[in-house]
Amino acid sequence: MKFQDLLAYKKSIDLAMKIFEISKKFPKEEVYSLTDQVRRSSRSVTANLAEAYRKRPYPKYFKSKLTDSDAENAETQVWIEFAYRCNYINETLYQELLNKSEEVGKLINYMILNPYKFGVKSPH
């Protein structure tokens, strides 16, 4: 299996691309702040998942990269909330993005709690 086959990867990259498209409509004064931050954190979720998958031979590193991914996902939720509170996105879109991010978070946490289902070698 490739990291691109992971459900968490597929859903996180889809979310990052949706955020990218939406953020194109943010005001120009947000280019180097909110737009950049939300794009960077949402992409980092996906990148850290790929890195974690490559670290499967090393259980501690696998979990460490997954917790990094989870933290970036939480950061993405913060930036999505700022976009909503600044009236750059409506409540419906805010809830949709938040729900998708929460789903990604659940998938990441499943991987953290069940590393051996993802090819991590059992210490026993």
Q: Is 94 exposed, middle or buried (0-12, 13-18, 19+ CB in 10 A)?
A: middle
CATH topology of domain 3-115: de novo design (two linked rop proteins) (1.20.1440)
pLDDT tens sequence across 76-88? 999 999 999 999 9
Q: Go through 6-41 and write b for each residue having 16 or more CB atoms within 10 A of its CB, e for each that does not.
A: bebbebbbebbeebeebbeebeeebeeebbebbbeb
Q: What is the dihedral of CA 112, 117, 122, 124, to 10 degrees?
A: 120
pLDDT tens sequence across 56-106? 999 999 999 999 999 999 999 999 999 999 999 999 999 999 999 999 999
**Band (2; pLDDT cuts 50, 70, 90):** very high
Say what the pTM is: 0.94
**Band (121; pLDDT cuts 50, 70, 90):** confident
